[in-house]
Chain A
Protein backbone atom coordinates (compact mmCIF):
# COMPACT_ATOMS: atom_id res chain seq x y z
CA UNK A 1 0.00 0.00 0.00
CA UNK A 2 1.25 3.45 -0.86
CA UNK A 3 2.19 5.35 2.25
CA UNK A 4 3.55 8.89 2.84
CA UNK A 5 7.32 8.83 3.12
CA UNK A 6 7.59 11.72 5.54
CA UNK A 7 5.56 13.31 8.25
CA UNK A 8 4.11 16.64 7.14
CA UNK A 9 5.81 19.22 9.33
CA UNK A 10 3.80 21.72 11.37
CA UNK A 11 5.04 24.50 9.14
CA UNK A 12 4.07 22.74 5.97
CA UNK A 13 0.59 21.85 7.20
CA UNK A 14 0.01 25.36 8.48
CA UNK A 15 1.28 26.88 5.24
CA UNK A 16 -1.20 24.77 3.32
CA UNK A 17 -4.00 25.93 5.56
CA UNK A 18 -3.04 29.59 5.32
CA UNK A 19 -5.68 30.12 2.62
CA UNK A 20 -8.44 28.13 4.31
CA UNK A 21 -9.72 30.94 6.53
CA UNK A 22 -13.47 31.54 6.41
CA UNK A 23 -14.57 35.15 6.44
CA UNK A 24 -17.64 36.04 8.47
CA UNK A 25 -20.72 36.95 6.43
CA UNK A 26 -21.66 40.61 6.25
CA UNK A 27 -24.84 41.23 8.20
CA UNK A 28 -27.35 43.93 7.43
CA UNK A 29 -29.82 45.45 9.86
CA UNK A 30 -33.56 45.10 9.44
CA UNK A 31 -34.99 48.58 8.78
CA UNK A 32 -38.13 47.63 10.71
CA UNK A 33 -36.77 46.12 13.93
CA UNK A 34 -32.99 46.56 13.68
CA UNK A 35 -32.17 42.85 13.95
CA UNK A 36 -28.90 41.81 12.32
CA UNK A 37 -29.69 39.52 9.38
CA UNK A 38 -28.03 38.35 6.18
CA UNK A 39 -28.88 40.53 3.20
CA UNK A 40 -31.61 39.56 0.70
CA UNK A 41 -33.43 37.55 3.34
CA UNK A 42 -36.74 37.95 5.13
CA UNK A 43 -36.12 39.31 8.63
CA UNK A 44 -36.14 36.31 10.98
CA UNK A 45 -37.44 38.49 13.83
CA UNK A 46 -40.31 40.49 12.32
CA UNK A 47 -40.87 38.90 8.88
CA UNK A 48 -40.22 42.19 7.11
CA UNK A 49 -38.77 42.30 3.58
CA UNK A 50 -38.42 45.28 1.24
CA UNK A 51 -41.12 47.47 2.66
CA UNK A 52 -43.77 44.95 3.64
CA UNK A 53 -44.31 42.10 6.06
CA UNK A 54 -44.04 38.76 4.27
CA UNK A 55 -44.14 36.33 7.18
CA UNK A 56 -46.49 36.95 10.08
CA UNK A 57 -44.73 36.27 13.37
CA UNK A 58 -46.86 35.41 16.37
CA UNK A 59 -46.19 37.94 19.12
Chain B
Protein backbone atom coordinates (compact mmCIF):
# COMPACT_ATOMS: atom_id res chain seq x y z
CA UNK B 1 0.00 0.00 0.00
CA UNK B 2 1.31 3.39 -0.86
CA UNK B 3 -0.54 5.31 1.81
CA UNK B 4 0.82 8.76 2.52
CA UNK B 5 3.89 8.36 0.37
CA UNK B 6 4.95 11.66 -1.07
CA UNK B 7 6.89 12.47 -4.17
CA UNK B 8 7.49 10.75 -7.47
CA UNK B 9 10.36 8.43 -8.20
CA UNK B 10 10.48 9.43 -11.85
CA UNK B 11 12.06 6.09 -12.71
CA UNK B 12 15.35 7.02 -11.13
CA UNK B 13 17.40 6.05 -8.14
CA UNK B 14 17.52 8.46 -5.23
CA UNK B 15 20.88 9.95 -6.17
CA UNK B 16 19.96 10.21 -9.85
CA UNK B 17 16.69 11.93 -9.01
CA UNK B 18 18.36 14.32 -6.60
CA UNK B 19 21.06 15.24 -9.09
CA UNK B 20 18.52 15.77 -11.83
CA UNK B 21 16.28 18.01 -9.73
CA UNK B 22 19.26 20.03 -8.51
CA UNK B 23 20.39 20.55 -12.09
CA UNK B 24 16.89 21.49 -13.15
CA UNK B 25 16.64 24.05 -10.34
CA UNK B 26 19.96 25.60 -11.40
CA UNK B 27 18.84 25.63 -15.04
CA UNK B 28 15.55 27.31 -14.21
CA UNK B 29 17.19 29.99 -12.08
CA UNK B 30 19.90 30.64 -14.65
CA UNK B 31 17.33 31.41 -17.34
CA UNK B 32 16.39 34.55 -15.40
CA UNK B 33 19.57 36.30 -16.48
CA UNK B 34 19.96 35.99 -20.23
CA UNK B 35 23.14 36.73 -22.14
CA UNK B 36 21.91 38.44 -25.33
CA UNK B 37 25.00 37.49 -27.33
CA UNK B 38 24.74 33.79 -26.57
CA UNK B 39 23.32 32.01 -29.64
CA UNK B 40 22.03 29.17 -27.44
CA UNK B 41 20.28 31.45 -24.97
CA UNK B 42 16.80 30.54 -23.75
CA UNK B 43 14.03 32.08 -25.79
CA UNK B 44 12.06 33.32 -22.82
CA UNK B 45 13.64 34.42 -19.54
CA UNK B 46 12.71 32.61 -16.35
CA UNK B 47 11.21 29.55 -17.96
CA UNK B 48 12.09 25.95 -18.76
CA UNK B 49 10.08 23.30 -20.58
CA UNK B 50 9.94 19.81 -19.12
CA UNK B 51 7.39 17.10 -18.38
CA UNK B 52 4.46 17.70 -16.07
CA UNK B 53 5.56 15.32 -13.26
CA UNK B 54 9.11 16.67 -13.28
CA UNK B 55 7.84 20.23 -13.15
CA UNK B 56 5.60 19.37 -10.22
CA UNK B 57 8.52 17.82 -8.35
CA UNK B 58 10.76 20.77 -9.13
CA UNK B 59 8.32 23.39 -7.99
CA UNK B 60 8.50 22.98 -4.17
CA UNK B 61 12.27 22.67 -4.43
CA UNK B 62 12.73 25.97 -6.23
CA UNK B 63 10.22 27.74 -4.02
CA UNK B 64 12.05 26.62 -0.90
CA UNK B 65 15.28 27.97 -2.37
CA UNK B 66 13.64 31.34 -2.91
CA UNK B 67 12.33 31.34 0.65
CA UNK B 68 15.87 30.61 1.82
CA UNK B 69 17.18 33.55 -0.19
CA UNK B 70 14.46 35.81 1.17
CA UNK B 71 15.34 34.87 4.73
CA UNK B 72 18.95 35.91 4.11
CA UNK B 73 17.83 39.38 3.04
CA UNK B 74 17.43 41.06 6.51
CA UNK B 75 20.87 39.81 7.59
CA UNK B 76 22.48 41.29 4.50
CA UNK B 77 20.72 44.59 5.11
CA UNK B 78 21.80 44.65 8.75
CA UNK B 79 25.41 44.02 7.71
CA UNK B 80 25.26 47.00 5.35
CA UNK B 81 25.67 49.54 8.16
CA UNK B 82 29.03 48.03 9.16
CA UNK B 83 30.27 47.62 5.59
CA UNK B 84 32.95 49.71 3.92
CA UNK B 85 32.98 51.18 0.46
CA UNK B 86 36.79 51.15 0.33
CA UNK B 87 38.57 49.14 -2.33
CA UNK B 88 39.96 45.81 -1.22
CA UNK B 89 43.58 45.88 0.05
CA UNK B 90 43.74 49.69 0.24
CA UNK B 91 44.99 51.18 3.51
CA UNK B 92 41.48 52.33 4.36
CA UNK B 93 40.14 48.84 3.75
CA UNK B 94 42.91 47.31 5.84
CA UNK B 95 42.14 49.53 8.81
CA UNK B 96 38.44 48.57 8.48
CA UNK B 97 39.39 44.90 8.24
CA UNK B 98 41.34 45.12 11.48
CA UNK B 99 38.73 47.21 13.29
CA UNK B 100 35.86 46.11 15.47
CA UNK B 101 33.49 47.11 12.69
CA UNK B 102 34.61 44.20 10.54
CA UNK B 103 33.82 41.83 13.38
CA UNK B 104 30.30 43.23 13.57
CA UNK B 105 29.95 43.14 9.78
CA UNK B 106 31.05 39.52 9.61
CA UNK B 107 28.82 38.53 12.52
CA UNK B 108 25.79 40.26 11.02
CA UNK B 109 26.44 38.71 7.62
CA UNK B 110 27.12 35.19 8.87
CA UNK B 111 23.55 33.85 8.53
CA UNK B 112 23.35 35.21 4.99
CA UNK B 113 26.62 33.55 4.08
CA UNK B 114 25.41 30.28 5.58
CA UNK B 115 22.22 30.53 3.52
CA UNK B 116 24.25 31.14 0.37
CA UNK B 117 26.35 28.08 1.09
CA UNK B 118 23.26 25.99 1.67
CA UNK B 119 21.87 27.17 -1.66
CA UNK B 120 25.20 26.43 -3.34
CA UNK B 121 25.26 22.92 -1.90
CA UNK B 122 22.05 22.29 -3.83
CA UNK B 123 22.59 24.33 -6.98
CA UNK B 124 26.36 23.83 -7.38
CA UNK B 125 26.44 26.91 -9.57
CA UNK B 126 27.78 30.32 -8.54
CA UNK B 127 25.78 32.26 -11.10
CA UNK B 128 22.54 30.59 -10.07
CA UNK B 129 23.20 31.41 -6.41
CA UNK B 130 23.91 35.03 -7.33
CA UNK B 131 20.68 35.31 -9.31
CA UNK B 132 18.74 33.62 -6.53
CA UNK B 133 19.97 35.92 -3.75
CA UNK B 134 20.30 39.20 -5.65
CA UNK B 135 17.45 39.13 -8.16
CA UNK B 136 14.81 36.59 -7.20
CA UNK B 137 14.86 37.35 -3.46
CA UNK B 138 14.22 41.04 -4.19
CA UNK B 139 11.64 40.29 -6.84
CA UNK B 140 9.52 38.10 -4.56
CA UNK B 141 10.15 39.92 -1.28
CA UNK B 142 6.47 40.84 -0.84
CA UNK B 143 5.00 37.60 -2.16
CA UNK B 144 4.14 34.97 0.46
CA UNK B 145 5.00 31.88 -1.56
CA UNK B 146 3.78 30.72 -4.95
CA UNK B 147 6.71 31.98 -6.96
CA UNK B 148 6.35 29.65 -9.92
CA UNK B 149 3.65 28.53 -12.28
CA UNK B 150 3.28 25.33 -14.26
CA UNK B 151 1.28 25.38 -17.48
CA UNK B 152 0.67 22.40 -19.72
CA UNK B 153 1.70 22.46 -23.37
CA UNK B 154 -0.33 20.77 -26.09
CA UNK B 155 2.69 19.24 -27.86
CA UNK B 156 3.68 15.78 -26.61
CA UNK B 157 7.31 14.86 -26.16
CA UNK B 158 8.95 13.15 -29.10
CA UNK B 159 9.87 9.57 -28.26
CA UNK B 160 7.66 8.70 -25.32
CA UNK B 161 4.78 11.14 -25.96
CA UNK B 162 5.25 12.51 -22.45
CA UNK B 163 3.03 15.35 -21.36
CA UNK B 164 5.01 18.56 -21.45
CA UNK B 165 4.69 21.65 -19.33
CA UNK B 166 6.53 24.88 -18.81
CA UNK B 167 7.57 26.05 -15.37
CA UNK B 168 8.35 29.71 -14.94
CA UNK B 169 8.65 32.41 -12.32
CA UNK B 170 5.52 34.45 -11.83
CA UNK B 171 5.47 38.24 -12.15
CA UNK B 172 5.50 38.34 -15.92
CA UNK B 173 2.68 37.26 -18.21
CA UNK B 174 0.35 36.97 -15.23
CA UNK B 175 -3.34 36.41 -15.66
CA UNK B 176 -5.16 39.68 -16.03
CA UNK B 177 -7.58 40.18 -13.19
CA UNK B 178 -11.15 39.89 -14.31
CA UNK B 179 -12.72 43.33 -14.37
CA UNK B 180 -16.26 43.78 -13.15
CA UNK B 181 -18.48 43.06 -16.12
CA UNK B 182 -19.29 46.07 -18.27
CA UNK B 183 -22.95 47.13 -18.22
CA UNK B 184 -24.90 45.09 -20.71
CA UNK B 185 -25.66 47.01 -23.87
CA UNK B 186 -29.35 47.12 -24.55
CA UNK B 187 -29.76 46.14 -28.20
CA UNK B 188 -31.71 48.72 -30.14
CA UNK B 189 -34.02 47.81 -32.98
CA UNK B 190 -31.38 48.89 -35.51
CA UNK B 191 -28.79 46.61 -33.90
CA UNK B 192 -31.12 43.67 -33.99
CA UNK B 193 -31.92 44.00 -37.67
CA UNK B 194 -28.20 44.14 -38.41
CA UNK B 195 -27.06 41.31 -36.25
CA UNK B 196 -29.78 38.77 -36.66
CA UNK B 197 -28.83 37.23 -40.03
CA UNK B 198 -25.21 36.80 -39.00
CA UNK B 199 -26.24 35.39 -35.64
CA UNK B 200 -28.31 32.69 -37.27
CA UNK B 201 -25.33 31.54 -39.30
CA UNK B 202 -23.19 31.49 -36.22
CA UNK B 203 -25.75 29.82 -34.00
CA UNK B 204 -24.52 26.30 -34.73
CA UNK B 205 -20.89 27.24 -34.17
CA UNK B 206 -21.73 29.18 -31.04
CA UNK B 207 -23.42 26.13 -29.57
CA UNK B 208 -20.15 24.24 -29.70
CA UNK B 209 -18.13 27.09 -28.33
CA UNK B 210 -20.44 28.14 -25.58
CA UNK B 211 -18.82 25.91 -22.96
CA UNK B 212 -15.33 27.24 -23.47
CA UNK B 213 -16.50 30.81 -23.77
CA UNK B 214 -18.45 30.73 -20.53
CA UNK B 215 -15.24 29.97 -18.68
CA UNK B 216 -12.86 32.23 -20.43
CA UNK B 217 -14.43 35.31 -21.98
CA UNK B 218 -16.01 37.73 -19.55
CA UNK B 219 -16.00 40.66 -21.98
CA UNK B 220 -19.17 42.50 -22.69
CA UNK B 221 -18.85 41.75 -26.40
CA UNK B 222 -19.04 38.01 -26.05
CA UNK B 223 -21.82 38.29 -23.51
CA UNK B 224 -23.77 40.25 -26.05
CA UNK B 225 -23.01 37.70 -28.73
CA UNK B 226 -24.11 34.92 -26.42
CA UNK B 227 -27.39 36.70 -25.79
CA UNK B 228 -27.95 37.07 -29.52
CA UNK B 229 -27.08 33.42 -30.08
CA UNK B 230 -29.57 32.44 -27.42
CA UNK B 231 -32.30 34.46 -29.02
CA UNK B 232 -31.41 32.89 -32.34
CA UNK B 233 -31.65 29.45 -30.77
CA UNK B 234 -35.10 30.23 -29.50
CA UNK B 235 -36.16 31.26 -32.95
CA UNK B 236 -34.94 28.06 -34.57
CA UNK B 237 -36.76 26.03 -31.96
CA UNK B 238 -39.92 27.92 -32.68
CA UNK B 239 -39.65 27.26 -36.40
CA UNK B 240 -39.21 23.54 -35.73
CA UNK B 241 -42.48 23.42 -33.87
Contact = CB atoms under 8 A, between A and B. Distances in A.
Interface string B147-161: 000011111000000
Interface in B181-229: 208-209, 211-213, 216-217
Interface in A36-52: 37-44, 49-52
A24 to B, nearest CB: 15
Dominant secondary structure of chain B at its interface with chain A: mixed
B176 interface: yes
B164 to A, nearest CB: 10
Chain A contact residues, majority secondary structure: loop
Contact of B154 (A34, A41, A51, A56): A41
Given A29-B212, A31-B217, A42 B154 contact: yes
Given A28-B211, A28-B212, A31-B212, A49 B151 contact: yes
B173 A41 contact: no
Contact of B176 (A31, A34, A51): A51
Given A52-B173, A52-B176, A42 B216 contact: no
Interface in B150-180: 151-155, 166, 173-176, 178
A59 B239 CA distance: 44
Interface residues of A, number: 21
B145 to A, nearest CB: 21
B151 A42 contact: yes
Interface of B: 44, 151-155, 166, 173-176, 178, 208-209, 211-213, 216-217
Given A28-B211, A30-B212, A41-B153, 13 more contacts: A28-B212, A37-B154, A42-B153, A42-B166, A44-B153, A44-B154, A44-B155, A50-B175, A52-B173, A52-B174, A53-B173, A54-B166, A55-B44
